[in-house]
Homo-oligomer: A and B are copies of this chain.
Amino acid sequence: MVTLDLQSLIIRFREYLQNKGLSYTPQRRVIFEYLCKERSHFNTEELIASLREKRLKVSRATVYRTLGHLEDAGFLRQVALNSTQIHYEFIANTKHHEHVVCESCGSIIEFSDPQLEERIEAVAAKHNVSITRHNVQIFGICRRCREQVKT
């Protein structure tokens, strides 16, 4: 039962904006719809380049600002796949998952593991921290890359 429908995502976004006294401007619409349709993982510069390619004119500053709002609103999640760039993923229409990253080819495998999630909850509870988000990254070499090295 996952919300994939664009219209209902837009409604959720508009509600969020309204609650904050913000308006649903054309720029915010462009960015939001683009992300809903096209993207799962991305970093901001990639996104800016893609928008530019499609002649969707939104300034760099507005993109950064809008991503901040989308993160606050819970549509985006920062994932720590790489250390010198903010990397996001759109989460409103996918189920929660973590990442395995191949350090050789950069490919990303998504996984979800309920037992792992349980442990994370347990750890947070044990330290009396009310959890807002979490991240798990596993880095390694994927099978394909291991096989290529052998050759």
Contacts and interface: CB of A to CB of B under 8 A. Distances in A.
A139 B132 contact: yes
A139 B133 contact: yes
A84 to B, nearest CB: 7
Nearest to A133: B139
Interface string A92-132: 00000010101100000101010110011011101111111
Contacts of A126: 111
Contacts of A122: 113
A39 interface: no
B129 A140 contact: yes
A136 interface: yes
A150 interface: no
Copy total for this chain: 2
B123 A131 contact: no
Contacts of A148: none
A86 interface: yes
8 contacts: A98-B123, A109-B129, A113-B119, A120-B136, A129-B141, A130-B141, A131-B139, A132-B141
Given A80-B80, A129-B141, A131-B139, 7 more contacts: A80-B83, A83-B86, A83-B87, A100-B129, A109-B129, A111-B127, A134-B136
Contacts of A130: 140-141, 146
A137 interface: yes
